Structure 1
Amino acid sequence: MQIETGMKYQISQNIKGNFNSADTLTITTNNGITVQFTLEDGKGYGSMPIDHLNYLLKRSNLTPSTTNKRVLLSPENEEKIG
């Protein structure tokens, strides 16, 4: 799975304590080695190596909850006004 800016992940119940009890995290930057993220409701922010994020995804501690916002805003999906 490709990890891109804007992707949102649901945090499983058993690791919420590691993420300030937030329900979701959103990727803000990805430089190919580490990702930076924000937690919902202003509960914080952080970063982690991509390998660790992939580990959490593999163990189902994080699950994708939405598609990349860039896809939603792509020109094919825009409504013509006027």
Structure 2
Amino acid sequence: MWSSSFLSTRAEHLPSGSDLGHIDVLGGEGADSSRDRGPDRAMMICLSVTLLLDGLRRFLSGKERSYRSAAVDSSFSLGLHADG
């Protein structure tokens, strides 16, 4: 089981395609976040979430055994690998 949250760095309005934000991912094996790291790993949140969800769809359907998502305009990345 895994869960995630997405947060715009500018909470006073709805995010646009170019707003920066952060992602938190929690899973049975651990957690990762783009927040509270140096250098700042804020990403273009709407574009990054779209790419992440598309890759997760392929990974969870079994079409791919591993997946690495690179955030847009950030050095943050998330890697997944299926055991067995």
TM-score above 0.5, yes or no? no
Instruction: Indicate the structure with greater helix content.
Output: 1
TM-score, normalised on structure 2? 0.28
Relative contact order higher in (CA < 8 Å, ≥ 6 apart): 1
Query: Over alpha carbons, which structure has the higher Rg?
Result: 1
